[in-house]
Structure 1
Amino acid sequence: MDTYKRKELLVGALMLGAGLFYLFLTINLPRKGFIDASTVPYVLSVGLCLLGVLQLLTATKATQPPVDPDADADPSAATPPDYPTVFKTLGLIAVYVALLQKIGFPIMTVLYLYAQFIVITPREQKINHITYIVIAVITSALIFFTFRQGFDLMLPTGFLKI
């Protein structure tokens, strides 16, 4: 068995093992109803187990990807890391966490998502403000009402008092 296939099998086995371990820990959580605070850990652990199984299945059929001999010859073809984007993202996360209690989840999430969409938009692509705002508002509302109504969990509302 070649090294590539062995690495892929190892990744799949580790994912499956982590998923099973997480599922075992989740089973020990107290249940209060069909949908409660332990629902998301169940979904995540089952999802991780499924990903591990899929990784194992694809790894058994995996073949070594072809190596391009010209890839090593041209170092300028490699894209350099985009550190400013990483630092902007970390800054946005810090501001989001700092203001979440005061301003509230719905407004801060809309602002964070809109700003993050702008940060990750490539420089050569035009920023579509309307689309970004619509996606941010819909996503924030869906998450807020899913947690409020579906999971019966309170997210910070800030000064909105919803």
Structure 2
Amino acid sequence: MDTYKRKELLVGALMLGAGLFYLFLTINLPRKGFIDASTVPYVLSVGLCLLGALQLLTATKATQLPADPDADADSSAATPPDYPTVFKTLGLIAVYVALLQKVGFPIMTVLYLYAQFIVITPREQKVNHITYIIIAVVTSALIFFTFRQGFDLMLPTGFLKI
């Protein structure tokens, strides 16, 4: 078995194992109804198990194409890793988590999403501020009211007191 296929099988096995472990932990959560606080963990664990199984299935049928050494050298030279974007994202996540309780979920989520959209926008593309703000506000409101009304779970409101 070649190295490529082994790596793909290992990734699939790890995904399936993580999904099964997460499912085992989720089964121990108390249930209050059909849709409650444990619904999302069930969906995530089943999804992870399905992805792991699909990865294993795909890996068993995978065959690595003969590699052209010149193509690999050209592709890695053309796209170097973008470490500043990774560090900016980690910084944004840290600020989001640090201020979530004080400022509140709706405002912090809007600010985080807007800033993250700007960070991940390619340098050669113009930043579309209006679209980013609209997407951030709608997404934040949708998530907040889904958790509050649909799942009956309170997210931190901060100083908004809603």
Q: 1:94 to 1:13 in 2, by over 3 A?
A: closer
* CA–CA separation in structure 1 for the residues paired with 2:47 and 2:75: 38
What's the CA shift string for 1:78-132, capped at 9, x where partnerless? Answer: 4222222222222222221222122211111111100110011111100011111
1:70 is displaced (CA, Å) by: 1.0
* CA–CA separation in structure 1 for the residues paired with 2:157 and 2:135: 20
TM, length-normalised to structure 1: 0.90
After the TM superposition, which of the residue ranges 136-145 and 14-23 deviates more from structure 2? 14-23
**SS in structure 2 opposite 1:74?**
helix
After the TM superposition, which of the residue ranges 69-78 and 38-47 deviates more from structure 2? 69-78
1:68 is displaced (CA, Å) by: 2.1
Moved over 6 A (4+): none
* CA–CA separation in structure 2 for the residues paired with 1:76 and 1:36: 46
Q: 1:109 to 1:70 in 2, by over 3 A?
A: same
* CA–CA separation in structure 1 for the residues paired with 2:75 and 2:161: 55
* CA–CA separation in structure 1 for the residues paired with 2:37 and 2:13: 28
Q: 1:75 to 1:116 in 2, by over 3 A?
A: closer
Query: 2:110 matched to which residue of 1?
Result: 110
Q: 1:97 to 1:58 in 2, by over 3 A?
A: same
After the TM superposition, which of the residue ranges 140-149 and 62-71 deviates more from structure 2? 62-71
Q: Residues 76-155 of structure 1 correspond to what in structure 2 (within 5 A)?
A: 77-155=77-155
* CA–CA separation in structure 2 for the residues paired with 1:15 and 1:115: 31
1:34 is displaced (CA, Å) by: 1.3
**Structure 1 gap segments, 5+ residues each:** none
* CA–CA separation in structure 1 for the residues paired with 2:74 and 2:135: 40
Q: 1:128 to 1:33 in 2, by over 3 A?
A: same
Q: 1:122 to 1:54 in 2, by over 3 A?
A: same
* CA–CA separation in structure 2 for the residues paired with 1:76 and 1:47: 32
Q: 1:74 to 1:40 in 2, by over 3 A?
A: closer
Q: 1:52 to 1:103 in 2, by over 3 A?
A: same
**Structure 2 gap segments, 5+ residues each:** none
1:72 is displaced (CA, Å) by: 5.2
What's the CA shift string for 1:39-95, capped at 9, x where partnerless? Answer: 111111100110011111111210103312213555872422222222222222222
After the TM superposition, which of the residue ranges 2-11 and 129-138 deviates more from structure 2? 2-11
TM, length-normalised to structure 2: 0.90
